[in-house]
Structure 1
């Protein structure tokens, strides 16, 4: 199984393939106190991936650096919201495509390891609340 991540912003695109993305998890939730279908629904996407040294295996870390920089964009900047697509591939076939057209980063972190310059990043994304109905899963 593999995963790809595509992020499109105002002036930038980020593309990470299955050589970098190691897991993806999506959660659609309503408050635990709801007694009926709530209008307060949150769509959250969790993504983890590898950090690689520029010279290792010919893979560049420039794309993951763009994720870090996106996490620093202030809320008042329209570029804080971006178009995000995660594709889940199994046996060379697309199993699921998850599309958040107005996603923002809730949390971003990187963990570094002394194992040949490797590390891992993880991020938590959420679809903008008033655009929840635009979330697509195919």
Structure 2
């Protein structure tokens, strides 16, 4: 299991640098981390209950709170702070970032398409 050795948040770019003990360093955006929070509010209690979190492009991380030697609580400026990002979960987000972000973008697009496809009733 990989350990996180350093976390560094850049307020201007809204990017979190994550350093692992095998020298992997990945930068993830606040938006990505917020929309992929491990909290029940976002993930639900199973894959079919996952919530689509929208409009988090401007969200910032306001605080990083260490949780033992295995996780960090990311506190976001929109009030969300219930997700504990374990080192294992952060590693998954780092190594699967491209596919997770692509899947999220597809869900957002499908959501917008469904909102725009309101049936029109023609009354004679």
TM-score (norm 2): 0.29
Computing the radius of gyration over CA atoms, which structure comes out larger, 1 or 2?
A: 2
| Higher normalized contact order (CA 8 Å, seq sep 6+, divided by chain length) | 1
Greater helix share, structure number: 2
TM-score (norm 1): 0.27
